[in-house]
Structure 1
Amino acid sequence: MRNDVPVAPFSLTFGSTTYRMDEITREALFRELGTNPAHPTSSQPTPQDWAQAYRRAGQGGLPVLALTISGGLSGSRNAAEQARTLVPEIPLRVHDTRTLSAAQAFQVHAAVTAAGRGETLETALDWVRRTHDETELYFTIETLEYLRRGGRIGRVQATLGGLLNLKPVITVDRETGTYTNVGRARSYRGAIEAVAAQVTARYGEGTPLRLGLLYGSVREDADALLAAIGARHPVVWAGFAGVNPVLNVHTGPRAVGVAAAPGGWVWER
């Protein structure tokens, strides 16, 4: 997907050292997670970060469409709105994607395609919304420990999950834009199968699918997930991407997920 657009980056802080999302590689992150005694914290883009991205996108007086991570997962949308006062000269629309990661990338691709074809901003937003309506994101993680460290899950729940070796299957709730658990498995391999089963339950076996596959420290996990989904569905398009470092500090190094949607893109129909 040609999603080369300006980005307002999140950042990570290990102790006294802060990295913007575009300043640390995934490999460096995994080394830090394995050796640094300080658990990292993540920070949303500032209004100044958003304003800088708006200026890059709006050169020549073009209107700007900002697609934010779900407001249920981050305050990034609020910062995007606050940045309006810093760029009053730029025609701006801020849209909450109500999701993140590969599912958000599908929406960005819809907007980029509309812009490339010279469509109106309203058409771009229509394609973005329709893409959201038909796209689901599911993922699983190897350990609950990083959610516990980051305060996203209680110590007792994390300990119990670890003792029972439970691996959650997580999605983003369509209404609230927050994480919700839709399944679990006793093993990581079983959780990959459970993610594939969720995709089939959502779209029906045999439905042709587009897939955005995500992986953490083990690229082969995405291949295994693709094979599990491909056993039930014709795959008309598949792309692969490593999980963004800011998300990886919450999931832990080993994670795998998929954004799935049926058939072709909305503008191809």
Structure 2
Amino acid sequence: MHILTDAGADLTVAQRKGLTIHTVPLVFTLDGRVYRSGIDIQPAEFYELLAATRSFPSTSQPAPGDFAAAYRRLIAGGDRDVLSIHISSGLSGAINAARLGAQETPEANVTFVDTLTLSAAQGWQVEAAGRMIQAGWPLDRILPALERIREATETFYTLETLRYLEHGGRISHIRALLGQILDLKPIIGVNKTDGKYAMQGRERSLKRAIQRLADIVAERFEGAGRLRVQVMQAHNPAGAQQLVALVAERFDAHLLPVGDIAPVLGAHTGPGLVGICAAPLSAFDGIPGLA
């Protein structure tokens, strides 16, 4: 069985080690040039470009034909089964494009997973699927395990600037201006019911907002036992290290290496983002290499 995902999933080199994960890139445009995330440009380069321009990036999802071509390539060797794992349908139309692509390739046996999340949390589901397939698990065992991980995982972010949210129409100009004057930093999560962004609060200063991320994790996982935690960052290593230190101080956690936020999220939030992904380690029980 093959795994196909999109560039909404953030995975470190260590997480990908030993796994064969195929990715259809998401596309964005900046200063008139089109980039394929993860192919034409890497996260660090993307945020350097953002810092050097006053333009805003725009994103677009892959076309159904991109997925159809990917499915055909994967099954050319004879294995017709594909597990297609995607960024939240509440945030992107990528999974709908993938379904249309599968209709163009009836010779492929494609099973779809809507992760209802993105970034590290999506990456965790992709990584887990890879480990389970590697261990020879059947699909009827893999899918319930992925659902368990999805339900157990929480992800939260805070932002250094509101300019990108304002530009994308996610907040009003007045609200963005007020946030700038008061130095308000939003805290955003992902709703696991509809897979859309959900405001979790705001703090005055990025330092306080990062502290609040740790507080929210403590509240959500009180009594949950040992946690699996990953800190994510977008051109803000100092903020990421502040959060790593808080996690090490406050939690009994299996802490993964800090990950980079891909442009698919960074295009809407800008540089400076710091985030955290967490779940009880028990959600990964039995999955080789993850628990």
What's the TM-score once normalised by structure 2's chain length?
Answer: 0.87
Measured in 1, the distance between the counterparts of 2:73 and 2:159 equals 36
Q: Which of residues 190, 196, 221 is equivalent to 1:203?
A: 221
Query: Which residue is equivalent to 1:46?
Result: 63
Q: Which of residues 11, 15, 25 is equivalent to 1:9?
A: 25
1:223 aligned onto 2:241: yes
Measured in 2, the distance between the counterparts of 1:51 and 1:130 equals 29
1:266 counterpart letter in structure 2 = D
Unaligned runs of 5+ residues in structure 2 are 1-14
Aligned length: 269
Contact 1:127 1:267 (C-alpha < 8 Å) held by counterparts = no
1:145 counterpart letter in structure 2 = R
Query: Which residue is equivalent to 2:286?
Result: 267
1:204 counterpart letter in structure 2 = E
1:168 aligned onto 2:217: no
Residue 147 (structure 1) shift: 1.0
Contact 1:185 1:191 (C-alpha < 8 Å) held by counterparts = yes
Q: Which of residues 22, 36, 41 is equivalent to 2:53?
A: 36
**1:89-238 alignment, distance < 5 Å:** 89-204=107-222, 207-238=225-256
Higher RCO (CA < 8 A, seq sep 6+): 2
RMSD: 1.7
What's the TM-score once normalised by structure 1's chain length?
Answer: 0.94
Measured in 2, the distance between the counterparts of 1:115 and 1:206 equals 27
**Higher deviation after alignment, 24-33 or 84-93:** 24-33
Change (3 A) 1:244 1:148: same
Contact 1:11 1:45 (C-alpha < 8 Å) held by counterparts = yes
Measured in 2, the distance between the counterparts of 1:52 and 1:220 equals 41
Q: Deviations over 1:37-59 (max 9, x none)?
A: 43210011111222233234434
Residue 139 (structure 1) shift: 0.8
Residue 14 (structure 1) shift: 1.8
Unaligned runs of 5+ residues in structure 1 are none
1:29 counterpart letter in structure 2 = F
Q: Deviations over 1:181-239 (max 9, x none)?
A: 11211110101000000100000168311112211112232221121122221112323
Residue 266 (structure 1) shift: 3.1
Measured in 2, the distance between the counterparts of 1:109 and 1:27 equals 22
Measured in 2, the distance between the counterparts of 1:49 and 1:239 equals 31
Change (3 A) 1:214 1:56: farther
SS of the counterpart of 2:171? Answer: coil
**Higher deviation after alignment, 99-108 or 42-51:** 42-51
Residue 106 (structure 1) shift: 0.8
1:20 counterpart letter in structure 2 = R
